[in-house]
Structure 1
Amino acid sequence: MSDPWDGPAGQATRSRSARVPGQRAPESDGARPTGGRAAARAAARAGGGRRARRARPVRRGRRILKAIGICMSVLVVVTAGAGWWFYQHLNGNIHSVSLDGKGGAEKADAFGRTPINILVMGSDGRTSKADCKLGGGCSKTGVQTGSNADVQMVVHISADRSNATVMSIPRDTMTRVPACKDSESGQSTNGYYGQINSALQYGPACQVATVHQLTGIPIDHFVKLDFSGVVKMSDAVGGVSVCVSNDVYDTYSHLKLSKGGHTLKGVAALEFVRSRHGFGDGSDLGRTISQHIFLSAMIRKFKSAGTLTDPTAVYDLADAATKALTVDDGLGTVKKLVGLASDVNKVPTKRITFTTMQTGADPNDTNRVVVGPGAKTLFSTIADDQSLTTGSGKKSAAASATAKATATASAVPASQIAVTVENGTAVTGRASDIAAALTDQGFSSATTTANAPSPAASTTLTYGTGQKAEAKTAAKALGLPGSHLKQGTGPGLTLVIGSDWPSGNGYPGGGSSASPADTKTAVGGAHASTADQAKTCAKVSPYKTVELNGVSMTPTQAYAAARGKPDSDS
């Protein structure tokens, strides 16, 4: 049957008197549709015909669209609310403390850019049950109050964000602690001479003030991390890859690892950064170097593509970081911490230099150290915003010279090598000049000077039995050819300056590493390295620095003797 409205020009083909099927009674005004589109519209309003039935899907579609709109609005609100909750949650994790201007202020460069200096502190505090379990020592005292800054690193980010320097200050350094008062505990001091790490007992601001006073470097911010914080951070990044040069078992920190590479998480990571008897010479100086290796690996992990592009990893890292850190008010929000992370991320790993403050033996206590030769130059280099790497990312001449001076067959650090320098020339002060050049490169502060028994035409370095390696280290630092070394009958190293070396700190034509460049002096004896050195292994101590079952032994011997104890990363 044809549609009643299929006539030409919309005209009906039936009589006007014909009733349209389903047509309603005439309107009250007596008007009737006369056909065409008007009649169709009237019929649609009357609810009759196929057009009326087609209107229902339109209404359903509108209802569906409206429902979708409501759902989208709810989703936007929920998502925004979740983001806001997450932001507030992270902000709520952060514990911040005012510095009260204790660290001085940075100066802007010619372009108005300002460097950033942060004191990173690792606390030894057992101020919670978690830290008591990790650090030990609470069996008699229980949860303790107060803590020391056993790790102290000045992190300098240059004004142009092109380079950075990380300088460790050994915890055993003796210095003057200024008058301080902890704003939280109320504990105060009028100032004293003591071990630098003890200043934290009077609050983080006091530790900052002490480091600022010692180095002259303005400290803008601080970040404090406790035992459990190290565990949380290493877990959040999925572990940190490190390498050890030999089997090692530090019976004090409990670190036990076989020779080679390892990925450390949780407690194992904490044992590694706490180990002071496992590496180097078994002192806190050796520990700073292994900590630099650990931090370099962590920085590389942060910068790796998989870490900061994985939303779950980013959340875990942000949550762990904000829970683990105590910071100053200037870093007391997620936005400010993100800004700091962005600044650090701008610096290439090859231009992040790690150093350790040069030290000398404390004349009043063999277990303590004092600021050594070269340290003041390192301080001023950082304070003056000078880079320790070249624009290409290669080590500066200073860092390269230090590496060459210490890369010998001997395991004895330059800091343990003392030289008696004798003047065999007619030039006044020659012995003092050369002695200063040695100590500026990290040789022992026990290096002494004297006049030679008689004038000498040629310069010679005489060494005692078993001290040839030490003599080579000293000769390389001064550019002295091997033909000028000879074994003597007495102990120690004696350098006689001859008339063939009338001036300068490097032997003529010898390629001395003792040039007067400031950056060279800055890193002399500072164990400089850069964060891109992924293949560097922590040097296990060759000395008997640990004890097992009452017997002193090397960390490698202890590893062999403790076969039944599982490795830290097992």
Structure 2
Amino acid sequence: MTDLGDGPVGHATRSRTRGVPRPRAGEADEPLPTGGRAASRAAARQAPRGGSRAAGRAATRRKQPPRGRRVLKITAISLSVLIMVTAGAGWWFYEHLNGNINSVPIDDGAGGKEKADAFGRTPINLLVMGSDARSSTTDCKLGGGCSTTGVQSGNGNADVEMVVHISADRSNATVMSIPRDTMTQVPACKDPKSGQSTAGYYGQINSALQYGQECQVKTVHALTGITIDHFVQMDFSGVVKMSDAVGGVSVCVDADVYDTYSHLKLAKGTHTLKGTAALEFVRSRHGFGDGSDLGRTVSQHIFLSAMIRKFKSAGTLTNPSAVYNLADAATKALTVDTGLGTVKKLIGLAADLDKVPTKRMTFTTMQTGADPVNANRVVPAAAAKSLFATIANDQSLTSSSGKKSAAATATATAVAVPAAKIAVTVENGTSISGRASTVATGLIDGGFSSGTTTGNASVSATTTTLTYGTGLKAEAQTVAKAIGLASSHLKQGTGTGLTLVIGTDWPSGTTLPGGSSSPAPADTKAATSNAKAATADQSKCAEVSTYKTVSLNGVAMTPTQAYRAATNKKDSAS
């Protein structure tokens, strides 16, 4: 596809000035005959018999260009007109789509962007959000809840949050859902649009969107340690538009289901969902799994996997009409950061994602445990740190064959001991306050054990060293690799653990200046443990909840029981 330019297409002009023809060799430079028609007839009478007609025909042949030249001229003019019309239509289309896009600036608070690999390539981390805002009459109709409040203002809550990671070499991708009921620390934020602000609080992660998209991005970064480069936000009507634009999405349910809250009603089997039915499916909390947001993330993965397979299927992206409908729907449906605020940039992102085979796109859900204060809320489980680390370190959760990676590393080299099992004692051998704490935090954020501790060295040190106990050389090498410490700075001691003494050669940061560090390899087996991991090439049925998660006429039922009882309710896909 040819990229369109950044400015309107210009119109070519042709000069009307013509040069005066010179006389041919041997011709007299005489004045032209005068006298009009009478003179012409007189000249004809004086000409030899038959000569006037021949001369006339010759003159006619000289005056009219050959037929081939006339055809070429007509063709050239036609092509010029076609090019101008096509370019004008292309520019209108480009500007029309750009005009659809709503974009806002963000900063994830990380103070930097993704690090390039050895070949200068950088990964992409994208936060995909689904807002529950009822900020239009259409969203009120689709989402309900506006009967007393009317059309609402504000951003709503981010009821869908997925961190989409595309690797630096574009060979693999990870999509990690964060359940909306996750409790975390929301940082101090201010929405530049509404002026609404907060000094920070402990609460549900999805509530951060009320203070702007940047606040939601900062909250996810603070929770996961993953740098967020971009975001894409979609509301209720956006899901409807996108599913219609692709001609519907094929999904399967393993039993009859009727979620009386989202209104999804489907018989057991496979269905093509369009419009409102697609929205009902991705919104259903009570229809699948255990009837909570954890079950909903899995059904959303099934829906997105099916949509991606359709994008990549033959004909979808080669049909001009389908491409136009998809582009028009997508740009109308999305709010993005300014880094994605043009059609050209969105096309670039889509092209990067299209390079990843479906068998190497892994969908996961952040591992959780019950919040000790509120059993109806969740907090990240210990295993979530490994999942966060694989994304932050640009590690794949699949092998090149598409199977789950048994023991992945950032360099495809086997590591005997996962970083999550390595605790380090970090000692400050400098006069710079807080250096041990900074480095220790960097190690934990990079996937090392939360048992990592800090302290002050007994004497000042000019050189950073790492001392390891008997049998701990492999652990020491993993730490050294993570911080860029040369092997010559490792030494075996008599202790039982790992002690990192920070010298004056390392005055700031979490990796040594000039060190050839690479991210600490995380344990990908731990990263996918209880994460409901599945690749996008897998076509599977959503598991309908077997619990009494819904209510019909005041009676608690399972979604399957509700389906059979609601005989007067039309199926979502018919």
TM-score when scaled to structure 2? 0.70
**Contact 2:127 2:217 (C-alpha < 8 Å) held by counterparts:** yes
Any residues of structure 2 matched to 1:454-493 within 5 Å, and which?
none
- What is the distance in 1 between the residues matched to 2:276 and 2:354? 27
Q: Which of 272, 279, 284 in structure 1 is aligned with 2:281? A: 272
The equivalent residue for 2:550 is: 546
* Percent of residue pairs bearing the same amino acid type: 76
Which letter maps to 1:115? P
Which letter maps to 1:531? A
* The 10-residue stretch of structure 1 (370-379 or 70-79) with the greater mean CA deviation from structure 2: 70-79
Moved over 4 A (4+): 22-27, 32-35, 52-68
The equivalent residue for 1:558 is: 562
- What is the distance in 2 between the residues matched to 1:398 and 1:295? 27
**Contact 1:398 1:524 (C-alpha < 8 Å) held by counterparts:** no
The equivalent residue for 2:93 is: 86
Shift of 1:49: 4.4
Distance 1:517 1:75, change over 3 A: closer
Which letter maps to 1:124? D
Q: Which of 220, 223, 237 in structure 1 is aligned with 2:232? A: 223
1:137 aligns with 2:145: yes
Q: Which of 75, 78, 100 in structure 2 is aligned with 1:71? A: 78
**Contact 1:96 1:328 (C-alpha < 8 Å) held by counterparts:** yes
1:100 aligns with 2:107: yes
Root mean square deviation of aligned Cα: 2.5
Q: Which of 104, 120, 129 in structure 2 is aligned with 1:121? A: 129
1:525 aligns with 2:533: no
Q: Which of 186, 191, 194 in structure 2 is aligned with 1:185? A: 194
Q: Per-residue displacement from partner, 1:49-81 (whole Å, max 9, x unpaired)?
A: 443455676489877765554333222111110
The equivalent residue for 1:483 is: none
Number of residue pairs matched by the alignment: 421
- What is the distance in 2 between the residues matched to 1:305 and 1:60? 45
The equivalent residue for 1:247 is: 256
Q: Per-residue displacement from partner, 1:134-192 (whole Å, max 9, x unpaired)?
A: 00000100000120000000000000000000000000000000011112111111111
- What is the distance in 2 between the residues matched to 1:230 and 1:308? 19
**Contact 2:108 2:228 (C-alpha < 8 Å) held by counterparts:** no
- What is the distance in 1 between the residues matched to 2:96 and 2:522? 50
- What is the distance in 1 between the residues matched to 2:43 and 2:283? 98
Any residues of structure 2 matched to 1:369-408 within 5 Å, and which?
369-397=378-406
- What is the distance in 1 between the residues matched to 2:72 and 2:525? 72
Shift of 1:561: 0.2
SS in 1 for 2:307: helix
**Contact 1:161 1:343 (C-alpha < 8 Å) held by counterparts:** yes
* The 10-residue stretch of structure 1 (220-229 or 60-69) with the greater mean CA deviation from structure 2: 60-69
SS in 1 for 2:376: strand
**The structure with more radius of gyration:** 1
Any residues of structure 2 matched to 1:19-98 within 5 Å, and which?
43=52, 49-52=56-59, 58=65, 66=73, 68-98=75-105
- What is the distance in 1 between the residues matched to 2:40 and 2:93? 63
**Contact 1:239 1:263 (C-alpha < 8 Å) held by counterparts:** yes
SS in 1 for 2:377: strand
Shift of 1:24: 6.1
Any residues of structure 2 matched to 1:232-381 within 5 Å, and which?
232-381=241-390
TM-score when scaled to structure 1? 0.70
Which letter maps to 1:82? A
Which letter maps to 1:127? S
Unaligned 5+ runs, structure 2: 1-38, 409-520
**Contact 1:102 1:205 (C-alpha < 8 Å) held by counterparts:** no
**Contact 1:178 1:209 (C-alpha < 8 Å) held by counterparts:** yes
**Contact 2:259 2:550 (C-alpha < 8 Å) held by counterparts:** yes
- What is the distance in 1 between the residues matched to 2:180 and 2:73? 67
